[in-house]
């Protein structure tokens, strides 16, 4: 029964994505399809991290965005001090993962038995602290950040112009999706994480340390957040302190809820969907009368609609 429901959810998700892309295509806004898919993939990566932590610690991780912001700041600091871009990217990913490790060790582990709402407040505290340090470090100013491929050569695929930077990003994402899929279905470590998230007691009984896995899960989630930031932020050309929390965290949460909050493929699919929905909302003329930023309101309405109509999300098992 739940398989049928899940398949229906998958159909709804993919179907609406195709429909929205078709709308953009017909209205001659092919460019925004690419933007939607690229930002959507970043939302998807952040959402993957959120779902991983939700499954292992049972908590919404409000520091997930800041894992990425720390990575972006490291990338900026390393690159401006003369380190080659590729090395700076690796340094940024390491910094993000390290931040995730420290968060788990210093803040999350002492609260292992605390109510979930207290752990949630703690993650929000970590985010607030990270943002405060960035504000101090950059004097609360935005900074320009250079792209990996500054030349902006364009390739035309089916009327759509894609810069080489974005082509690389999409390629990286495809490889990453395959690697993650294999990791969670074929390796012992991946299976152990899935097991611990579904049945922690039974996992302990077969001799796997759930606590050690918790550390690993947080590092992995932080790495995904850092990757999302390194992919998406330089593409926009600049960053501000706490950028991943202000710009990416809420769409990513909406994506995770849309995907079902416990489903990894669902989270990524949700992310891409939200990215495309934002593209439509930014460009469609019927939304131009909304004051301020129309896409914010649309994302909020999507979140409400999912919770009212289909609380289990597209690929979630049960509410």
Q: Residue 212: how many CA atoms within 13 Å on its side-chain side?
A: 7
Tell me if 22 contacts other proteins by CB under 8 A. Answer: no
What are the backbone angles phi and psi of residue 46, rounded to the nearest 5°?
A: -60, -40
How far, in Å, CA of 282 to CA of 284, rounded? 6
Closest C-alpha among 302, 298, 275 to residue 24: 275
Q: Are 266 and 11 in contact (CB under 8 A)?
A: no
127 is a contact residue toward other proteins (CB under 8 A)? yes
Q: How far is 70 from 92, CA to CA, in rounded Å?
A: 8
Shortest Cβ 73–other proteins spacing (Å): 12
300 belongs to the binding site for other proteins (CB under 8 A) = yes
Residue 126 engages other proteins in binding (rule: CB under 8 A): yes
Query: Judged by CB, which is closer to other proteins: 133, or 149?
Result: 133
The answer to whether residues 103 and 217 touch, using CB atoms and an 8 Å cutoff, is no
Contact map string, positions 146 to 185, toward other proteins, x by CB under 8 A: ----------------------------------------
Element (H, E) at 162: strand 160-163
Candidates 19, 114, 174, 175; binder of other proteins (CB under 8 A) is 114
Q: How far is the CB of 90 from other proteins (least distance, A)?
A: 24
> For other proteins, which residue of 31, 146, 282, 296 counts as binding (CB under 8 A)?
296
Pairing state between β 160-163 and 143-144:
unpaired
Size of the site for other proteins (CB under 8 A): 55
Distance of CA 199 to the CA centre of its chain: 25
Residues in the site for other proteins, rule: CB under 8 A?
58-60, 62, 106-107, 110-111, 113-118, 120-122, 124-129, 131-133, 135-139, 245-246, 249-250, 253-254, 257, 261, 290-294, 296-297, 299-300, 303-304, 307-308, 311-312, 319
């Amino acid at each position: 029964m739940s398989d049928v429901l899940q398949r229906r959810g998958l159909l709804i998700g993919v179907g609406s994505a195709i429909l929205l892309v078709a709308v953009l295509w017909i209205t001659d806004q092919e460019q925004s399809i690419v933007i939607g898919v690229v930002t959507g993939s970043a939302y998807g990566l952040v959402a993957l991290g959120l779902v991983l932590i939700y499954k292992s610690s049972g908590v919404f991780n409000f520091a997930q965005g800041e894992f990425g912001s720390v990575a972006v700041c490291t990338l900026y600091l390393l690159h401006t001090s003369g380190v080659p871009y590729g090395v700076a990217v690796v340094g940024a990913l390491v910094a993000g993962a390290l931040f995730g490790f420290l968060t788990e060790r210093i803040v999350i582990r002492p609260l292992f038995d605390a109510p979930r709402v207290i752990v949630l407040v703690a993650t929000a505290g970590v985010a607030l602290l990270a943002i405060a340090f960035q504000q101090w470090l950059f004097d609360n100013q935005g900074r320009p950040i250079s792209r990996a491929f500054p030349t902006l050569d364009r390739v035309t695929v089916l009327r759509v112009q894609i810069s080489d930077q974005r082509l690389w990003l999409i390629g990286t994402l495809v490889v990453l999706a395959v690697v993650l899929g294999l990791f969670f279905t074929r390796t012992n470590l991946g299976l152990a994480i899935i097991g611990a998230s579904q049945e922690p007691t039974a996992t302990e009984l077969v001799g796997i340390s759930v606590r050690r896995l918790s550390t690993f899960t947080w590092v992995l989630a932080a790495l995904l957040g850092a990757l999302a930031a390194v992919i998406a932020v330089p593409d926009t050309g600049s960053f501000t302190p706490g950028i991943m929390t202000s710009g990416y965290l809420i769409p990513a949460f909406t994506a995770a809820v849309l995907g079902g909050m416990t489903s990894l493929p669902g989270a990524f699919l949700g992310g891409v969907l939200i990215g495309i929905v934002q593209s439509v909302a930014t460009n469609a003329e019927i939304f131009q009368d909304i004051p301020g930023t129309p896409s914010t309101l649309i994302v909020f309405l999507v979140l409400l609609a999912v919770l009212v109509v289909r609380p289990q999300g597209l690929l979630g098992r049960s509410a």
